[in-house]
Every structure is written in C-alpha cells, then in structure tokens.
C-alpha cells in the first residue's frame, strides 16, 4: 500500500517540478528581454531610421524595421485571409463534415503548418527568381502569407467548428442560398473568432525572420515601394546582435524588447477576443 503512494508522490513532485520549469522558462525569457532591453530603449530608437554609420555605433533608430514589419504583417495577413476564409467557409458550408475532400484539405493544411519557415523562404526565393523579381516588400508579403496561411486557416476552422450546425439548417429552410447564409449569418457569429485568428497569424508573421531573409531583403530606408527591399524587425535584431560593437548590440536588445512587447500585446488582445467569442456564440 505504502509503496503505491510513495510512487505516486514521487511522480507528483516530478510533475509539479516540470510544470514549474516550463512556466519559469517564460519568466526567464521575459526577464532577460526587459532587463537588457529597457536600459537601451530610447525614443530615438523607435522614431528614427538608421543614419549613416548606424551599425558601427552612430545615430538612428529602427523605424524602418518597425514600419517594414507592420507593412509586411498587414499585407501577408490580408493575403492569407483572402485564401483561408473562403477555404474554411467552403469546407463548413458546402461540404459534409466527414467527406474525404474536407479531410484531405484539413490534413494538408496541418502538414503545411509544420513546414519550416526557412523552406517557405527558400521557396519564395525560387518563385522570385522564376518571376524575375528582386528582393522586395511584395516578395516578403507573398512568402509570409504562405507561412501564416495554414495557421490562420486552422484557427478559423476551429472557431467555425464551435458554431452550432442547426444555424445552417434553419437558414436553408428559410430559402437562402448557401452563399448568402455564409456571408450574413455565419460571419457575424464567427467574426470574433476570425479576428482572433487574424491577430494570432499577424503575430507569427511579424516575428519570423527565416521567411523574409531571402525575400524581403533589408534596407535602411523606410518602406517605400512594393518592389523595393524592406527592413523587418526580426532581421534588424539579428543584424544588430551580430555586430562586434557593444552600443549596437545594446540597441539590438532594445529592438528585441520592441518586438516582444508588440507580440505580447497582440497575444493578449487575441486571448481577450477569443474569450468574448466563446461567450457570444448562440447556444
């Protein structure tokens, strides 16, 4: 009898320890980001672009990267939404739940979710070469859109699964077409869920470096045209951290803080929205 309880207590301790380690990992990371980034943060950092000699210690900031990331994020999210939303709608409204077609599409979406971002970057690069484009904002948007599309589609799919099916039947019974049902009734119910998915995908999009490395290039100026290279926050951080100059590295820490705060705010917004979504579904 005692042996059983002894074993149980040993494992219980191990389990609690594991959970504590996992939770404190986040604390450790956040602590590091704030402790290193806060002292180096200045208003200049977020309002100026790199002036001459920025990377060897002279003046400037990362405004180019901040705006570049936001523009790529918005562009990629819009593009991914334009594909994910119709696809998920199609699966829920026009196809039966257990059809082979739906299962196949969902399966491939899951597989696409697992493709590493560097592979998307490499593919974006080959597509760029094929189309004769150079490193540009547009190429970056396209590649990041590819990366985040599976994430977005999955989130929207999960949101739509929570919407009760009877809604569908009553609409059809009243004589509307499926398309009308989709746009009017379901979107309203699904809207917060869709917004949450958009936010999560946006967060992933602006945080990724490997996909924009080959495709968006880098530049010190503010993003101007779709066909010129654009700077991104993750790459800006990467480059600044990689220099031998401590002042530049410090600025890298501050840039890391900016990116982290940005993503944290988006995460929290997404959580709050998703809670609201769950509460407002017609029961």
| 178 near another protein (CB under 8 A) | yes
User: Among 62, 76, 256, 273, which residue interacts with another protein (rule: CB under 8 A)?
Assistant: 256
Using CB under 8 A as the binding rule, whether residue 204 contacts another protein is answered as yes
Q: How far is the CB of 280 from another protein (least distance, A)?
A: 20
Does 209 interact with another protein (rule: CB under 8 A)? Answer: yes
Residue 23 near another protein by CB under 8 A: yes
Residue from 26, 100, 173, 174 binding another protein (CB under 8 A):
26
Sign of CA dihedral 88, 274, 200, 141: positive
List 46, 74, 79, 122, residue binding another protein (CB under 8 A): 122
Taking CB under 8 A as the rule, does residue 160 contact another protein? no
Residue 51 CB, shortest distance to another protein, in Å, is: 23
Binding mask 34-53 for another protein (x = CB under 8 A): --x-----------------
Residue 140 sits in the site that holds another protein (CB under 8 A): no
CB half-sphere exposure, 11, CA atoms < 13 A: 5
200 is a site residue for another protein (CB under 8 A):
yes
Residue with tokens 């398309």: 179
């Amino acid at each position: 009898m005692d042996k059983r309880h002894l074993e149980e207590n040993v494992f219980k301790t191990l389990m609690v320890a594991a959970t504590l380690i996992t939770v404190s990992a986040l604390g450790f990371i956040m602590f590091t980001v704030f402790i290193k980034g806060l002292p180096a943060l200045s208003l200049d950092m977020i309002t100026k672009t790199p002036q001459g000699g920025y990377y060897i210690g002279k003046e400037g900031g990362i405004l180019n990267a901040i705006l570049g990331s936001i523009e790529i994020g918005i562009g990629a999210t819009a593009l991914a939404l334009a594909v994910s939303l119709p696809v998920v709608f199609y699966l829920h409204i026009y196809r039966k739940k257990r059809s082979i077609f739906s299962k196949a599409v969902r399966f491939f979406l899951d597989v696409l979710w697992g493709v590493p971002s560097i592979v998307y970057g490499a593919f974006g690069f080959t597509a760029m070469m094929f189309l004769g484009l150079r490193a540009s904002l547009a190429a970056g948007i396209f590649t990041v859109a590819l990366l985040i599309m599976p994430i977005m589609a999955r989130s929207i799919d999960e949101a739509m699964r929570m919407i009760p099916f009877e809604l569908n039947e009553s609409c059809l019974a009243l004589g509307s077409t499926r398309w009308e049902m989709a746009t009017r009734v379901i979107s309203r119910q699904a809207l917060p869920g869709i917004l949450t998915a958009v936010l999560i995908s946006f967060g992933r999009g602006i945080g990724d470096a490997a996909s924009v490395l080959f495709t968006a290039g880098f530049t010190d100026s503010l993003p101007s045209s779709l066909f010129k290279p654009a700077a991104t926050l993750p790459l800006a951080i990467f480059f600044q951290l990689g220099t031998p100059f401590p002042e530049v590295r410090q600025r890298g820490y501050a840039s890391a803080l900016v990116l982290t705060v940005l993503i944290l705010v988006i995460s929290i917004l997404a959580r709050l929205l998703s809670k609201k979504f769950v509460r407002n579904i017609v029961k």
